[in-house]
Structure 1
């Protein structure tokens, strides 16, 4: 906080404290000429009279003590702009202290899973259950409570993995995140093959998952040479993709952003930018292992897990 804002806050606090003291003093004292408490002239039903009786002294003094306490509180804990107070207390320090205590409890609770391989953890039903709970609290916002994902968010229950589905690769994804970038090729393709070039390439890409669809398909045939000149660098000549860079396999029936021709064309024309946030700092290594074990177990059923 800048010095200007600090002085602004200090002035507001000072005005409020002085104002409260003045208000108590002004309303508590009696002045010459003031009417008696019984002289309000407010009478109902002949015998019900409104009085103007000041607060008891002990009550007024309690208000003064409250003001004195507030001054001491501000002096110790801060509250005057950038002034931190004699106690040097801050909400950040309080949060970090509480977090360190809770993290220590979690580390103790999960100590038996520390450093264990993902596939070994996945054989422990209790560990998988814990991983499921962590997933529900941390990952379900994007991938859904059932982990089946949505448009733009991968389905974690099948055997399709853009960044490889090995245990170590899944752990790396959870801990360090991923960033998949599909560049926009609309302008480039238009320069290569005219205004219909994007649709031609989309037709060819769509045909990769259905080889018969390439037969007698004029648009796919027109798109093939442009694909081979531009897209093979990431997706390969056969369209199988490249897990080391997150380039998806175009020959299967899984489409992260939709499988219609219009959706595929939109991906080619405008590009995509998918980000999986890193959770190393949020979860730590051991809890990340538990989540990774749960995710890995989703596509490796009990029989596969037991075999592994």
Structure 2
């Protein structure tokens, strides 16, 4: 709350918070004369009567309620003094939810450290061969990665198939470790306004021809001319992409999106912006190593870890 770009907002919020408490106290005290009506005094009649003899009186609040009201106001002031709530004022205890989360994360990491300590001297390749490490990596995958890549790791529309693998980024243990740790962000600019949709259709036919998919040969010939103008800088003359900029290989059978003409035209015209979030602030380095080993083993020389359901049930 106290991270404001202008000091005005800090004072503004503090004034509202304190003003609310002060107003409540003033409201209570300004009615003291009415609240202190004694038993001997006659209670005023509102004049409302129901069912013949059910009369509404204007009785004062009981004293215990008044005391409770004032105590709650005092509690509010004390809370605002100790904890953040008065704009830029951080509170006497310097408490923040960010700090609490960090402390809890450190405490959790310390509690599970013995589980990972025995794997400290193993490389990712060695972890991939260790049955216990494989189970840990798999459970981490199901907890943190399956939402996007699927419980079978085969991905889906716009999410990579980790079992199949994609050479756009290194499939080495180090490459996978870097991907999980720092995340990835692949951006393809849209060409709407630079080319017509008919020209995009021709480019799509040429792209399909690169993967030996069914295509219109005449349209592909026309499309190559525009491909050489707009696409070659990233995807290369031969269409095999550029790992340095994250441009995919258009000649293989790996399609993050559909290989249909309609989808390719949409990608060309509208562009793409795919992002995999970095896990370095979510998982510990030990957990990331376990995950990297498990993912690497999915596509290592055609081998696969044991079936997901079988491992989870053990």
Partner of 1:66: 72
**Which residues in structure 2 correspond to 1:111-150 (within 5 Å)?**
111-114=117-120, 116-150=122-156
The reply on whether 1:16 has 2:20 as its aligned counterpart is yes
Structure richer in helix, relative to its length: 1
CA distance in 1 between counterparts of 2:164 and 2:240 reads 17
Cα distance change on mapping 1:221 and 1:50 into 2, 3 Å: closer
2:281 alignment partner, SS class: helix
**Which residues in structure 2 correspond to 1:23-42 (within 5 Å)?**
23-25=27-29, 26=32, 28-30=35-37, 34-36=41-43
Partner of 1:5: 9
Is the Cα contact below 8 Å between 1:123 and 1:305 reproduced in 2? Answer: no
Higher relative contact order (CA 8 A, sep 6+): 1
CA distance in 2 between counterparts of 1:100 and 1:186 reads 48
Is the Cα contact below 8 Å between 2:185 and 2:276 reproduced in 1? Answer: yes
The reply on whether 1:210 has 2:229 as its aligned counterpart is no
Partner of 2:88: 82
Partner of 1:103: 109
Q: Deviations over 1:32-56 (max 9, x none)?
A: 994159x899999999888876555
Partner of 1:284: 284
* Residues 264-273 or 220-229, more deviating: 220-229
* Residues 286-295 or 26-35, more deviating: 26-35
Structure 1 residue 158 displacement after superposition? 1.0
CA distance in 2 between counterparts of 1:70 and 1:180 reads 49
The reply on whether 1:273 has 2:279 as its aligned counterpart is no
Is the Cα contact below 8 Å between 1:154 and 1:256 reproduced in 2? Answer: yes
Structure 1 residue 233 displacement after superposition? 5.1
CA distance in 2 between counterparts of 1:184 and 1:68 reads 59
**Which residues in structure 2 correspond to 1:124-273 (within 5 Å)?**
124-184=130-190, 196-210=198-212, 217-224=217-224, 227=227, 231=231, 234-273=234-273
Taking structure 2 as the reference length, what is the TM-score of the superposition?
A: 0.74
1:5 alignment partner, SS class: helix
1:110 alignment partner, SS class: helix
Cα distance change on mapping 1:164 and 1:41 into 2, 3 Å: closer
CA distance in 2 between counterparts of 1:6 and 1:267 reads 45
Cα distance change on mapping 1:107 and 1:245 into 2, 3 Å: farther
Taking structure 1 as the reference length, what is the TM-score of the superposition?
A: 0.75
CA distance in 2 between counterparts of 1:29 and 1:186 reads 76
- Which segments of 5 or more consecutive residues in structure 2 lack a partner in the other structure? 307-314
1:148 alignment partner, SS class: coil
Which one has the largest radius of gyration?
A: 1
Partner of 2:299: 299
CA distance in 1 between counterparts of 2:226 and 2:25 reads 81
Q: Deviations over 1:6-34 (max 9, x none)?
A: 33334333443334334444253116994
Structure 1 residue 229 displacement after superposition? 6.8
CA distance in 1 between counterparts of 2:109 and 2:247 reads 37
CA distance in 2 between counterparts of 1:120 and 1:95 reads 33
Cα distance change on mapping 1:245 and 1:112 into 2, 3 Å: farther
2:17 alignment partner, SS class: helix
Q: Deviations over 1:170-227 (max 9, x none)?
A: 1111112223333446777x5xxx985443332232122228x68x933334444665
